[in-house]
Structure 1
């Protein structure tokens, strides 16, 4: 197992243990304080535990080399796991949103503000610390799974700070009897606002992961930059034309290039072809070290289209 996979497992394991602590605390306090949003925070952390453990299993599976059974690697596992993770989060958010709406229709919900404030204060900064740690690790590892974990903690951090702000507001209103009728509605209203915001990130994550499963051209400047470089190589080596196909699945960038050659071709030998391949590989590696590059040469266009 490579060092990258081993480090990835350590980071994901940290996320699992941290999520367990938040889940137990949130569910217990959410039940006793009768706060729907704290209960949601705990349930979200509990779901995160299962999903984080799934990420650890996926990373272990990907890290085991088995080229005979998986000649093209196992990168497809990453986006499949991400789709599953975000789908589960969407279901949790939808159920919580429906519960908050029902709560408002039934006259709101009384909450034990003192305990809720302590939990939200400690939880907010603890979540923020976990999120910043995972965000740093996701940038250094380039792992889609660690990035998904980071996004989960980002969402949990938003919930925790929204809870903190809401309960601070409720505490201020509680000191003035004129606003006491508003207090039971603060908890479900916060739940509705957070749920609406939460819908955005999972939907975007599922869309991006589906793009990888379907092997769509990745977004951003990368595809155009590679195509421009290939065009320059086409001119440099006096080719007729070239065709470039690019996809990103998990950590691997798949690049397939077909050159249609001329009779006056500057590429005379296989060694010349390999030299061109090396130039292309060196360039692509500036964007992604995990590239899968295929370069073909033909003088019949039908084999390239």
Structure 2
């Protein structure tokens, strides 16, 4: 038996102006577009490839956020009621959870790839003598971008205390990374401005490619954690904690009701939890009504917990072990 569950949040009890997952992502996309535009414009005006990279990196991040927003809307539409939900269920009977790790993985690979490409360009520029830079314009960009990034990271973090969304969490990490990267640029640009007119001015052309290379080295490994998590979910690697909890519930059920054993199959795909439980009953057991079997399913489902649209729970009873293997 498969049961989609019920939404954990009662709309009537939800705060009137509480942000939703799509709403947070929309605000983030708008802010990312502003930061990307600032980065590209100020980067070209100041002659800083590090700033241009920061803008392009933000542009790529915004594009992936748009895909994440599409996935969030699809999941919300699947869990909704009405004609739209019926059409989605008919075409995608297994839901859209599988899209979430795909988006997370693609985002991580894209951002890491951009960092590798920029690092190669930075090394080439450094070896060719660096490039001149307008430090005043670069500093203005860095200050504005750090402020925007910190505000957006705080906004997303507060909203995600209730939403608990992997997509929003990834977005918050992106803003924190952006703030850290731009803060490093700001420090470098201030130092570059400070050495103007001194004996160290010869170092000025090397500041931008050196900072860009360092930023790329820091950025590259950061998205790989999301890629690793996405691969685990795409490959249906069994989450140890969830499996342990399901095993405990199943074992108690076996001991309480006299089953011979059970088989549990567990996976986490995005925000979705897929759980299949097969209980092996002795041959010749007295017959039970369907209502009694359903009551036992309800008991097991309540013990497992997490009754929400993101839980896919299947519970079956059989005397033939082959059906459970």
TM-score, with structure 1 as normaliser: 0.89
Rate the CA distance shift 1:227–1:186 in 2: closer, same or farther, 3 A. farther
Count of residue correspondences: 301
Rate the CA distance shift 1:102–1:240 in 2: closer, same or farther, 3 A. same
Task: Tell me how far apart the structure 1 counterparts of residues 283 and 66 of structure 2 sit (CA, whole Å).
Answer: 57
Of the candidates 278, 294, 301, which is equivalent to residue 321 of structure 2?
Answer: 301
Question: 1:263: how far off?
Answer: 4.8
Question: 1:52: how far off?
Answer: 2.0
Question: 1:31: how far off?
Answer: 0.8
Equivalent residue for 1:36? 49
Question: 1:252: how far off?
Answer: 1.4
Task: Tell me how far apart the structure 1 counterparts of residues 267 and 287 of structure 2 sit (CA, whole Å).
Answer: 27
Of the candidates 226, 230, 247, which is equivalent to residue 267 of structure 2?
Answer: 247
Of the candidates 244, 269, 294, which is equivalent to residue 274 of structure 1?
Answer: 294
Which ranges in structure 2 are unaligned for 5 or more consecutive residues?
1-6, 78-84
Equivalent residue for 1:201? 222
Task: Decide whether the 8 Å contact of 2:150 with 2:176 is kept in 1.
Answer: yes
Equivalent residue for 2:131? 109
Task: Tell me how far apart the structure 1 counterparts of residues 173 and 155 of structure 2 sit (CA, whole Å).
Answer: 12
Rate the CA distance shift 1:276–1:171 in 2: closer, same or farther, 3 A. farther
Task: Decide whether the 8 Å contact of 1:239 with 1:265 is kept in 2.
Answer: no
Task: Decide whether the 8 Å contact of 2:264 with 2:278 is kept in 1.
Answer: yes
Question: 1:82: how far off?
Answer: 2.1
Task: Decide whether the 8 Å contact of 1:237 with 1:266 is kept in 2.
Answer: no
Task: Tell me how far apart the structure 1 counterparts of residues 25 and 286 of structure 2 sit (CA, whole Å).
Answer: 50
Of the candidates 236, 240, 248, which is equivalent to residue 228 of structure 1?
Answer: 248
Task: Tell me how far apart the structure 2 counterparts of residues 201 and 242 of structure 1 sit (CA, whole Å).
Answer: 40
User: For structure 1, which segment, 295-304 or 230-239, has the greater mean C-alpha deviation from structure 2 after superposition?
Assistant: 230-239
Task: Decide whether the 8 Å contact of 1:284 with 1:291 is kept in 2.
Answer: no
* Larger relative contact order, structure 1 or 2 (CA cutoff 8 Å, min sep 6): 2
Q: 1:178 aligns to what SS in structure 2?
A: coil
Q: Does 1:160 align with 2:173?
A: no
Q: 1:243 aligns to what SS in structure 2?
A: strand
Of the candidates 190, 194, 211, which is equivalent to residue 190 of structure 1?
Answer: 211
Task: Tell me how far apart the structure 2 counterparts of residues 47 and 245 of structure 1 sit (CA, whole Å).
Answer: 37
Task: Tell me how far apart the structure 2 counterparts of residues 92 and 119 of structure 1 sit (CA, whole Å).
Answer: 21
Of the candidates 66, 84, 87, which is equivalent to residue 109 of structure 2?
Answer: 87
Which ranges in structure 1 are unaligned for 5 or more consecutive residues?
none
Rate the CA distance shift 1:137–1:267 in 2: closer, same or farther, 3 A. farther
Task: Tell me how far apart the structure 2 counterparts of residues 97 and 271 of structure 1 sit (CA, whole Å).
Answer: 64
Task: Tell me how far apart the structure 2 counterparts of residues 290 and 201 of structure 1 sit (CA, whole Å).
Answer: 28
Rate the CA distance shift 1:182–1:288 in 2: closer, same or farther, 3 A. farther
User: For structure 1, which segment, 261-270 or 210-219, has the greater mean C-alpha deviation from structure 2 after superposition?
Assistant: 261-270
Task: Decide whether the 8 Å contact of 2:280 with 2:320 is kept in 1.
Answer: yes
Q: 1:67 aligns to what SS in structure 2?
A: helix
